[in-house]
């Protein structure tokens, strides 16, 4: 395996030679089995066709109209917190609330579908529990081994036979994943059928959610650009998975960081309160232009990227050039590496984001202030191929995160709503951030779940400002 964070090498992997460095076969097989033929599961011309159809629904013009929905949902979470702390400080398990909030954000703005009332005592939607537990379940050691060893041969077996084999095998972990996928698939079908009916009956008038726009765009597309209904259904779980788990854990991380840095939290609160006093409800432009809120989000996504690494595999022999020469085991200086066909490549998004040669000696420190002043010349000179702020957080090239602006807007709406009202402080329990593909919070004393992983949680002390 080749571990890479050199900017020039990353440019070749994700941009220039992306047709050579593809997602590993087991990745495509897994995502197709879980999500169907969505944006994560397709490659080449098929992927470009889907992306072309999806790109307009994540445009700034479309997102401007989503801001009121974002604040409406964020205020529901705020009301739930108010009920908890109206008599004084209360320890709140923040991670589950951020999951519920992120799911409702993508549910309503993405599909015109409500997953959660966001009221205290209401149960987490089975879909949320499934998609939240998916990363931990698929990272279970026996499942990972089965994924690497067996999955390349899975497509040789008819789907009905595959299901019969899974049902027959006494493999508890695989049954847990099977049940999660069933819940996700059934919910996606329910959402799609409701959207299709709405569009057919009145052309979806009054609906601005992603799925309505996507269905109408697909109906209006040429035969060449149109995608089948099964792929539209597959986009639902694909988008929710990509949007919910990353955004919810990024929000949890930011609240945890703010709890540990009260001076940053206070400065952020002042900026947010001033903005609400001067503008009332914040629109897209105002929310996007708050400099310290933007700095806190950027720095958190730099130092603590929700997805710390990606994998690729070379489908042919190729030479990978380097920006900075390395020394080989026999002492020779090398400014390129020969990569044989079949080589697995681990792209470290996190290491590139925190490389001292790019970001300076304080690269691993969380300092939102670094984004207030102009960045050092070495940052743009590094030519990191990411699509966001000289960072690899949202990757780059033709498989970069299509909804990265959507995610930032969600985070800013939720943070601005909560921080103006509540003060967050660390609890007495030690928080651990586990790498389950997506980085997720738990505690040292967390109970062990049915699939052998720690229960996800982030306890924080919360008080009214």
CATH code, domain with 363: 1.10.630.10
Domain, as residue range, for 364: 2-464
Q: What would the mean pLDDT of 223-243 be, rounded to a whole number?
A: 90
Query: Contact, 63 vs 180, CB < 8 A?
Result: no
Using alpha carbons only, give the angle 220, 35, 232 rounded to the nearest 5 degrees: 10
Rg (CA), the chain: 22
Question: Once rounded to an integer, what is the mean pLDDT over residues 411-424?
Answer: 98
Binding-site residues, please?
401
Confidence of residue 144 (pLDDT cuts 50, 70, 90): low
What 8-state DSSP symbol labels residue 87?
Answer: T
Q: Comparing 114-123, 140-149, 166-175, which segment has the lowest mean pLDDT? A: 140-149
* Cα distance between residue 115 and residue 105, in whole Å: 9
Beta strands 431-436 and 438-443, pairing class: antiparallel
The CA dihedral of 163, 243, 252, 5, to the nearest 10 degrees, is 90
- Cα 378 from Cα 385, distance rounded (Å): 14
CA angle (35 as vertex; 34, 36 as ends), nearest 5:
105
DSSP code for 158: -
What integer is the mean pLDDT of 187-196?
91
Q: For helices 67-85 and 404-419, what crossing angle results, to 10°?
A: 40
**The pairing of beta strand 309-314 with beta strand 344-348:** antiparallel
Place of tokens 């400065």: 267
Over 70: is that where the pLDDT of 324 sits? yes
**Tokens 């309160």 label which residue?**
273
Q: Is the pLDDT of residue 6 over 70?
A: yes
- Bridge partners of residue 168, in order along the sequence: none
Four-residue CA torsion sign, 387, 390, 393, 398? positive
Which of 105-114, 204-213, 245-254, 390-399 bottoms out in mean pLDDT, i.e. has the lowest?
A: 204-213
Contacts of 81 (CB under 8 A, 6+ apart): 92, 97, 418, 421, 422, 462
Stronger pLDDT, 162 or 42, i.e. the higher one: 42
Neighbours of 38 (CB within 10 A): 25
User: What are the binding residues for heme?
Assistant: 401
Amino acid 133: pLDDT: 76
CA distance 343 to 101: 40
Q: 151 vs 42, 148, 167, 384, CA distance in Å?
A: 17, 6, 17, 34
**Of 342, 341, 324, 345, residue with least CA distance to 333:** 324
pLDDT attached to residue 51:
92
The angle at the Cα of 4, spanning 354 to 385, to the nearest 5 degrees, equals 65
CA dihedral for 143, 158, 233, 125, sign (positive or negative): negative
Highest mean pLDDT range out of 112-116, 418-422, 449-453? Answer: 418-422
DSSP 265: H
Query: What are the tokens at 224?
Result: 């060449």
Between CA 174 and CA 182, with CA 176 as vertex, the angle to 5 degrees is: 100
Q: How many domains does the chain have?
A: 1
Tokens, residue 405:
């602006």
Question: Does the pLDDT value for residue 271 go beyond 80?
Answer: yes
pLDDT at 335: 96
pLDDT of residue 74: 97
Decide if pLDDT at 29 tops 90: no
- Whether residue 26 contacts residue 151, with contact meaning beta carbons closer than 8 Å, is answered with yes
Q: What is the per-residue pLDDT for 22? A: 94
Highest mean pLDDT among 47-51, 166-170, 209-213, 215-219: 47-51
- 441 forms beta bridges with 433
Given a cut of 70, whether residue 203 has pLDDT beyond it is no
d(C-alpha 372, C-alpha 168), whole Å? 58
Q: How far apart are CA 272 and CA 414, in angstroms?
A: 12
In tens, the pLDDT along 390-401 reads 999 999 999 999
Nearest by Cα to 5 from 342, 385, 332, 299 = 385
Compute the Cα dihedral for 118, 121, 122, 128 and give only its sign: positive
Alpha-carbon distances, residue 453 vs 135, 139, 246, 292, 441 (angstroms): 11, 10, 19, 36, 12
Question: What value does the mean pLDDT take over residues 47-59?
Answer: 89
Query: What is the arithmetic mean of pLDDT over 202-213?
Result: 75
Work out the average pLDDT over 289-296.
97
| Burial class of residue 99 in the structure, from the number of CB atoms within 10 Å of its CB (0-12 exposed, 13-18 middle, 19+ buried) | buried
What does pTM read for this prediction?
A: 0.91
Q: How confident is the prediction for the chain on average, in pLDDT?
A: 91
For a pLDDT cut of 70, what percent of the chain falls above it? 94
Calpha distance 194→59 (Å, rounded): 24
């Amino acid at each position: 395996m080749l571990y890479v964070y050199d900017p020039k090498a990353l440019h070749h992997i994700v941009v220039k030679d992306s047709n050579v460095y593809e997602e590993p076969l087991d990745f495509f097989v897994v995502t197709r089995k879980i999500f169907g033929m969505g944006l994560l599961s397709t490659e080449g011309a098929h992927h470009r066709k889907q992306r072309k159809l999806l790109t307009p629904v994540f445009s700034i013009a479309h997102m401007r109209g989503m801001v009121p929905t974002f604040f409406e949902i964020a205020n529901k979470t705020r009301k739930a917190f108010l009920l908890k702390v109206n008599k004084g400080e209360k320890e709140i398990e923040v991670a589950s609330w951020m999951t519920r909030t992120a799911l409702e954000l993508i549910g309503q703005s993405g599909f015109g579908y409500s997953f959660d009332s966001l009221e205290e005592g209401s149960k987490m939607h089975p879909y949320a529990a499934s998609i939240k537990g998916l990363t931990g379940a698929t990272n279970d050691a026996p499942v990972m081994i089965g994924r690497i060893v067996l999955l390349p041969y899975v497509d040789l077996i008819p789907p009905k036979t595959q299901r019969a084999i899974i049902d027959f095998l006494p493999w508890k972990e695989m049954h847990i994943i099977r049940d999660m996928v069933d819940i996700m698939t059934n919910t996606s079908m329910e959402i799609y059928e409701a959207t299709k009916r709405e569009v057919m009956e009145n052309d979806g008038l009054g609906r601005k959610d992603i799925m309505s726009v996507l269905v109408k765009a697909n109906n209006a597309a040429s035969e060449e650009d149109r995608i089948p209904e099964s792929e539209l259904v597959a986009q639902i779980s694909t988008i929710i998975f990509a949007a919910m788990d990353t955004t919810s854990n990024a929000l949890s991380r930011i609240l945890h960081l703010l709890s540990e840095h009260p001076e940053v939290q206070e400065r952020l609160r002042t900026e947010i309160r001033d903005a609400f006093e001067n503008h009332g409800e914040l629109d897209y432009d105002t929310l996007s232009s708050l400099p310290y809120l933007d700095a806190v989000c950027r720095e958190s996504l730099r130092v603590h990227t929700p997805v710390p690494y990606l994998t690729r595999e070379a489908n042919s022999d190729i030479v990978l050039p380097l920006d900075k020469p390395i020394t080989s085991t026999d002492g020779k200086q090398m400014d390129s590496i020969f990569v044989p066909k079949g080589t697995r490549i681990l792209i470290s998004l996190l290491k590139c984001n925190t490389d001292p040669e790019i970001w300076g000696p304080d690269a691993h420190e969380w300092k939102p202030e670094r984004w207030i002043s102009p960045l050092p010349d070495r940052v743009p000179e590094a030519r990191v191929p990411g699509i966001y702020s000289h960072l690899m957080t949202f990757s780059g090239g033709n498989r970069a995160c299509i909804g990265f602006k959507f995610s930032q807007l969600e985070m800013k709406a939720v943070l601005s709503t909560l921080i103006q009202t509540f003060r967050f402080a660390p609890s007495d329990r030690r928080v651990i951030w586990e790498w389950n593909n997506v980085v997720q919070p738990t505690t040292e004393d967390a109970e062990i779940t049915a699939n052998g992983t720690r229960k996800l949680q982030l306890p924080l002390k919360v008080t009214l400002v």
